Amino acid sequence: MCFSATASFVAGGVLSATGGLALAKAKTKKERPFVGVPLLFGIQQTIEGVIWISFGSPILNTVMTYAYLFFAYVFWPVFIPFAVLSLETDPVRKNILRILSFVGYAMGAYLLYFIFADPGKAHIVNQSIAYEFRHLYNFLPLLFYVAVTCGSGLVSSHRIINLFSVGVLVSFFIANWFFSATFISVWCFFAAILSIIVLLYFYSYNKRR
């Protein structure tokens, strides 16, 4: 499997276009956060595309690396539980999601601190981009990160959201096992592609409605 600037830009363009279209057609405020996930992944993949072509421009590379690290380490653990909670109607599940949201905010704040205190750098390893950011990879931070980003969707009462989260969890193990040096980049790429499932939720929900 080969990753490149082209792969990132193509994925970013497709996800941004389809996600933006779905978001524009969203009927209620509650569904907009989750429907917006593909668009947001598209922006993240576009940022990584810029990183690919910026290694000869240190300032641009640094700015884009900060932007990517913010998405990968801070934004997703905060946003995913919030987006799933926005759609949930079951009281018990909502309470669990509120707890996961609190953990997500704590994780986001913890990792945001280290992005500025000990910023990571990007470099190419085995045709993928590696981000030197060691603070996620201790057992407890990684456990909490996976719990909020994957566990939130598993708690949801919506089957398609469950399916998306199962796919992201499986891709976590694949990326960690086969692409350990470039784990976060590869996992985010897989998750971005899987976010097409989010559009299935949107269209099936509106069809039923």
* The pLDDT value given to residue 67: 93
Give the chain as a DSSP string: ----HHHHHHHHHHHHHHHHHHHHT--STTTHHHHTHHHHHHHHHHHHHHHHT-TT-HHHHHHHHHHHHIIIIIIHHHHHHHHHHHH---HHHHHHHHHHHHHHHHHHHHHHHHHHHS---EEEETTEEEE--GGG-SHHHHHHHHHHHTHHHHHSS-HHHHHHHHHHHHHHHHHHHH-GGGHHHHHHHHHHHHTHHHHHHHHHHHHH-
End-to-end alpha carbon distance in the chain: 40
Q: What is the mean pLDDT of residues 172-187?
A: 84
CB 135 within 8 A of CB 71: no
Residues 31-55: tens digit of each pLDDT: 888 888 888 999 999 999 999 999 9
d(CA 90, CA 99): 15
Residues 73-84: tens digit of each pLDDT: 999 999 999 999
* The pLDDT value given to residue 1: 41
* The pLDDT value given to residue 208: 57
* The pLDDT value given to residue 18: 81
Residues 98-123: tens digit of each pLDDT: 999 999 999 999 999 988 887 778 88
Q: Is the pLDDT of residue 148 over 90?
A: yes
